[in-house]
Amino acid sequence: MIHKDTLAFLQDLKRNNTREWFDENEAAHRFVKNDLLVLTEKILSKVSEFDESIAIAALESKKCITRINRDLRFSKDRTPNSELRTPYKTDFYIVLNKNGKGGVTAFYYLHIEPDNSFVGGGVYNPLPEQLWQIRKGIEANFDEWLQVIKNRTFMRTCPNGVQSSGLLSKVPKGFSHESLASEFIKNKGFFTKENLTNAEMVSSKSFKKTMAHFKVAKPLIDFINKTIETP
């Protein structure tokens, strides 16, 4: 799916995260950027075949890829050797959100990092307003929600199910602890996440696996976006 040199570059960058090393390896960085751009264009084209909202969004491939430069201007961590003080990220996200990379709506994503790559879809850490809307939507349309996450294909492709960026210890204010949806209302996020090995990331077969995951994540993304966008 990606070239082996892309993973190798990220591995080397993790060991040599300095501006001096990065400048010396600018040619390798340009190769990586092009490799990711080609992959993103391929993903956009394929997802557009089954998700009309992505097809009509006219997303630019280069704007769907996270930047490698880390913004240190407002970092509170001043420890010289802290990972948060290194000038470059050692991973990439390819994000397909119909409202752009920074949109509040649910999205498809592919995380690329040596020994920590994964594919998924949904919302990781929605803002309070959107989180409230999602929770209300799940409670009001619980049968529909179960149809999405209990679908056999969904469960087979996403054995880890719907995951969360965190869980509340109890049902939040405004919801009943007796609600049938209480198990999910405690979630702080709603997304799928399935790991991809380094071998899978550099295999041509993994593109098909990624697309299969995106297809089964689409009903989840659609459900979330409907709750967010319904007045």
Whole-angstrom distance, CA of residue 186 vs CA of residue 47: 31
* Residue type at 142 in one-letter notation: F
Residues of the domain holding 133: 4-229
Domain count along the chain: 1
- How is the beta sheet containing 92-96 ordered, strand by strand? 92-96, 107-112, 117-123, 190-196
Inter-residue contact 43 to 59 (CB < 8 Å) = no
Q: What is the pTM of this model?
A: 0.93
| Closest to 133 measured CA to CA, from 185, 78, 211 | 185
* Residue type at 172 in one-letter notation: P
CATH at 115: 3.30.930
pLDDT tens per residue, range 41-83 = 999 999 999 999 999 999 999 999 999 998 765 445 444 444 5
pLDDT tens per residue, range 34-43 = 999 999 999 9
